[in-house]
Chain A
Amino acid sequence: MEVEVATGNLQKGLTDSFRLTALGDSAVIVSFGNVIDLTTQRKVRSLAEWLDLRPLPGMVEYIPAFTTLTVFYDPLAIDFSSVCEELEQMMEELPNATKESPRIVEIPVCYGGEFGPDLDFVAEHNGLTTEDVIEIHTNGEYLVYMIGFAPGFPYLGGMSQKIAAPRRSAPRLSIPAGSVGIAGSQTGVYPIGTPGGWQLIGRTPLALFRPADDSPSLLQAGDVVHFRAITPEEYERWSVVSGESKWEEGRN
């Protein structure tokens, strides 16, 4: 597409370069590299925070991802090359770092049983007991790289290879909201009921998607997640107290 590509240098030592690529006639992708790592993630987050403070003229919204941030704009208000100029300008002013101490979010999980029907499989696959799997999973510290795919769905980094497991050969047609799963060396939580092929090891009573709140996603990119094991009784009590199922009832 006559993809006009511009590169520029970040002045404040955040990175060496970035790339601007058109995504059709109404969006531009700012790309910070091809590797999923903490440094790249931080650049994406810095730009997101900066855009919250100083929205570009004509900007409709933005989507941060692993190594990119995409700005959607109205071509009536601004054209592609002007958006690129604005972004290049912004890169020069981009502050060095975001908040130094990340938000830590604890997610209570009831492991195994009806809440995690694949816990046994994950244990067997790795030659571990189910207790081992729970311990390894709850000891991990997980960085939220991005929110995408579904409302409030976090892409988490940092799961131990010791509990990695392949996806199910046949995906389940329906996975309940709150299910905690493993796919390869990734772990994650399904915020809404959906079909899916992840190995389910537990379920959280916390609502990750909160349509009534100002910020509909419990988690944000940059947060650090800890999982904590709870009993089925605690799960039930939690559900009642938090009223977790209130938006679920509106569904058919």
Chain B
Amino acid sequence: MSIQVIRPGLLTTVQDLGRLGQQKHGVIVSGAMDPFALRIANLLVGNDEREAALEITLMGPTIRFQKDCVIAICGGNLSPKIDGQPIPDWRPVWVKQGSLLQFGSPQTGCRAYLAVAGGFDVPVVMGSRSTYLRAGIGGFYGRALREGDVLPIGCRSMWEAAEWREREGRFFAGWFVDTRIRPKYGKNPTVRVMRGGEFDWFAKDIQQQFFAASFQVTPQSDRMGYRLSGPQLALSEPKELISEAVAAGTVQVPAEGNPIILLADRQTTGGYPKIAQVATVDLPILAQVTPGERIRFEEISLSQAQELYRLREREIGILRQGIKFRLDARGEDRCTGLI
């Protein structure tokens, strides 16, 4: 009923969709950097999409499964292998008791999400199982995984190993999430943004530069935010903003002119001018950017961003039905979003 961490990898934490509703107390949201991948990984193993999974960063862990279970890995492709054999992502995989999961070099992106059927059984803190590293709460004792940790996992009878094997005749599903539905992960991406509340504090040429230039993600980037380097975005005149709320994807510009994109572990409030705001649908793309890569910003309107959001949720809804059908029934029928 558990997994054992043989080697922890670079940064492996338990995350779900975040600690919502506590920001008025200064408690940050945390949660998966790539919520799309987390949700789909959960759906693929029959979990509620809000269940906790492991967020695996860049160099993956080595994990031993102490019981038979079904897993799914979504998000960035970090070359997962079970007992030395490469396994596909974005589909359910059956794992035998005693099997060893390892990761190799990153192929695309830098964050993978490992969901197990039944979820990781860690305590819910303030409504979430997400690890909030700075305050040391949530997840597995409020910290990243370490060598020797044993994480309890839930149990689900629908994933009887024998039944699974009989049905599929192999150790991973023959169907998977259509690539057309996944976010367009890729190196040096362009992300869509709306103008920020203080966009007009910047001179015209600086505004143009913001959309024309590319910005490099520096090594001083983490789950709290990406620090960017590129053209300096100086304010027209020094101006102070009174601290107010910030959001995931807020692009703020401190006095020295290098923008910062705030992400999952962002603070609740900030006082730097906000030049832009990344559209919610493009946060998964951002989550997969490795330091050293470059980012470009493309302007869209608020109504476009909301339309894209609704479209994405509609697609996830169809996918949810499709996966449920595949898991429940044994039919060979094609489902939208699945091949």
Binding site for B on A (CB under 8 A): 1-4, 21-27, 29, 31, 34, 36, 48, 60-68, 70, 72, 75-76, 79-80, 146-153, 155, 191-192, 194, 209, 211, 215-217, 247-248, 250-252
Which residues from chain B sit less than 8 Å from chain A, CB to CB? 20-28, 125-126, 134-137, 141-143, 194-197, 199, 242-247, 249-250, 267-269, 274, 277-280, 301-303, 305-306, 309-310, 313
Contact of A152 among B26, B246, B250 (CB under 8 A): B26
In contact, B302 and A23 (Cβ under 8 angstroms): no
The answer, among A31, A66, A75, A152, for a CB contact under 8 Å with B309, is A75
Interface centre among B24, B242, B277, B310 (most CB of A within 10 A): B24
When distances are taken between beta carbons in the complex, the residues of chain A under 8 Å from B242 are 34, 36, 65-68
Q: Hey, which chain B residues are within 8 Å of A61, CB to CB?
A: 20-24
**What is the CA–CA distance of A216 and B137 in the complex, to the nearest angstrom?**
12
Q: Are A151 and B245 in contact (CB under 8 A)?
A: no
Known: A24-B250, A66-B244. A152 touches B302 (CB 8 A): no
A75 CA / B28 CA spacing, docked (Å): 21
Query: Which of A26, A70, A80, A150 is the one whose CB lies under 8 Å from B26?
Result: A150
Known: A76-B313, A191-B26, A252-B143. 13 other contacts (CB 8 A): A22-B197, A23-B250, A24-B249, A24-B305, A26-B280, A27-B245, A63-B244, A75-B310, A147-B24, A151-B26, A209-B135, A211-B126, A217-B26
CA distance A149 to B24 in the complex (A): 10
What is the bound-complex CA distance between A247 and B134, given in angstroms?
Answer: 13
| B20 contacts across to A, CB distance below 8 A | 60-61
Contact B306 A75 (CB under 8 A): yes
Q: Which of A63, A153, A155 meets B245, CB within 8 Å? A: A63
Set of chain B residues within 8 Å of A31, measured between Cβ atoms: 244
Report A-chain residues with C-beta under 8 Å of the C-beta of B143. 251-252
Check A149 against B267 for contact (C-beta < 8 Å).
yes
Cα–Cα distance between A152 and B267 once the two chains are bound (Å) = 12
How many angstroms from the CA of A216 to the CA of B127 in the assembled complex? 12
A64 & B24 in contact (Cβ 8 Å cutoff): yes
CB pair A80–B245 under 8 Å, yes or no, is no
Chain A minimum-CB-distance residue to B22: A216
Which B residues are in CB contact (< 8 Å) with A151?
22, 25-28, 135
Tell me which residues across on chain B come within 8 A of A152, comparing CB atoms.
25-27
Chain B CB within 10 A, most for which of A3, A29, A148? A148
Bound CA–CA A61/B20 (angstroms): 7
Residues of B within 8 A of A252 (CB): 136, 141-143
- What are the residues of chain B within 8 A of A67 when measuring CB–CB? 242, 244
Q: Please tell me if the beta carbons of B268 and A63 are within 8 angstroms of each other in the complex.
A: yes
Q: Which residues from chain A contact B246 at a C-beta distance below 8 Å?
A: 23
Note all chain A residues with C-beta closer than 8 A to B199.
1
Tell whether, in the assembled complex, residue A65 and residue B245 are in contact, meaning their CB atoms are under 8 Å apart: yes
Residue with the highest number of chain B CB atoms closer than 10 Å, among A22, A36, A211: A211
Listed from nearest, the 5 A-B pairs whose CB atoms lie closest are A251-B136, A70-B245, A148-B269, A1-B195, A24-B277
Residue of B nearest to A36 (CB): B242
Most buried by A among B242, B247, B267: B242
